[in-house]
Homo-oligomer: A and B are copies of this chain.
Amino acid sequence: MTNNQTMNYVSYFRPEIDSMTGYTPGEQPKVKNIVKLNTNESPFPPSPSVLKALNSFNYENLRLYPDPLSSYLCAEIGTMFGLSYKNVIAGNGSDDILNIAIRCFTDSTRPLAYLKPSYSLYPTLAALQGTPCIEIPLKDDFSLPEDLLVKAAPANLLIITRPNAPTGNSFPKEIMAEICRNFQGIVLIDEAYADFANDNCGDFAANFPNVIIARTFSKSRCLAGLRFGYAVAHEKIIEGMMKVKDSYNVSMLTQKLALASLWDRAYFVDCIAKIKLAREMLFLGLMDIGFKVIDSETNFIFASPPDENAEFFFQELKKRNIFVRYFPGPVTGKYVRITIGTTKDVSLLFSVAREIYSGMLSD
């Protein structure tokens, strides 16, 4: 066989795959000495308990498959929610949970509804599944629209990100309950940022048979590199989702280290308090410079520069090795999303913003 003859590439992909563009995660620059405020990671290291667990881990056990059910984690999380391990499914990050839910509850005849703007992964996961999407625009102030239930009605799965990303604001809990009570389908509440919020909908998992609460260890647990997320819901929902999950989706080390993090509640509470403080500082500081800033209940701030030219601000920051996230588009294009870093990061960002918006820009 000759290469010329055989290497005529023909696509055998499903047309849905060929025609889609993949999801683009935030940049993970490999250069050193950058200020990385673009992917909502924690500026703090994980709990010291994670280090202890790492040091006491017997590497010889890696020859064995991990527990396919992440039993200890699910039991512990179940207890946290006043429920059983049977109400919990573990994911390789909460993206895994989202993917599983979209495969379970949507297809070409079962649409997915979500708010816009929200997490840009939802439409990508829907496209993979050939699922039609119902995008429900938030109001101009990023609050929930009154006709949400009417618009979402044809969907079988409704995802509400609460607090929302990339806008950072939350939605009233009583309205969330009303939506869950009246929506004829599954409501997945993506609580990736709920640990930074004033309240959460965790109790809905026990009180609504059609609600899935999804959470992650990537933000508030300072463990984005570890890949752990989970969902809590009615036992029957978890049972079905288990069929779709990859058997050994969570590695042995991830299970061990996630559990260690879970046990250290004091460190977790402390990190969140620090983030909230830096958030308040960033919020007030940017307002002072003339930014429009959305009230945030997350570990990031969604802010629009005085001249609304967010792309320019994004590029100027990048020149200075400060990475934030910019989402082009008519609504999001006026804002940048800035992860709450340390108070030092926040101060640095201020000085750059002041420099730019006092017209003192040198280049």
Contacts and interface: CB of A to CB of B under 8 A. Distances in A.
Nearest to A121: B247
Given A224-B248, A227-B249, 4 more contacts: A12-B156, A14-B105, A45-B59, A253-B254
Interface of A, secondary structure class, is loop
Given A28-B67, A181-B1, A246-B96, A227 B207 contact: no
A21 interface: yes
Nearest to A106: B14
A54 interface: yes
Nearest to A26: B65
Interface stretch (A135-143, A237-245, A306-314, A330-338): A237-245
Interface string A54-87: 1001011111111110000000000000000000
Interface stretch (A2-10, A274-282, A349-357): A2-10
Contact of A14 (B62, B107, B218): B107
Interface stretch (A36-44, A164-172, A189-197, A289-297): A36-44
Nearest to A209: B9
Contact of A6 (B20, B63, B107, B209): B209
Contacts of A28: 64-65, 67-68
A50 to B, nearest CB: 6
Contacts of A236: 9, 11
What is the total number of copies of this protein in its complex? 2
A222 B60 CA distance: 9
Contacts of A244: 17, 22, 128
A72 to B, nearest CB: 10
A163 interface: no
Nearest to A47: B59
Given A226-B252, A243-B22, A45 B17 contact: no
A25 B105 CA distance: 24
A118 interface: no
14 contacts: A8-B209, A12-B185, A13-B105, A13-B240, A23-B243, A36-B64, A46-B60, A46-B63, A54-B57, A62-B222, A93-B246, A225-B253, A226-B251, A226-B252
A210 interface: yes
A147 interface: no
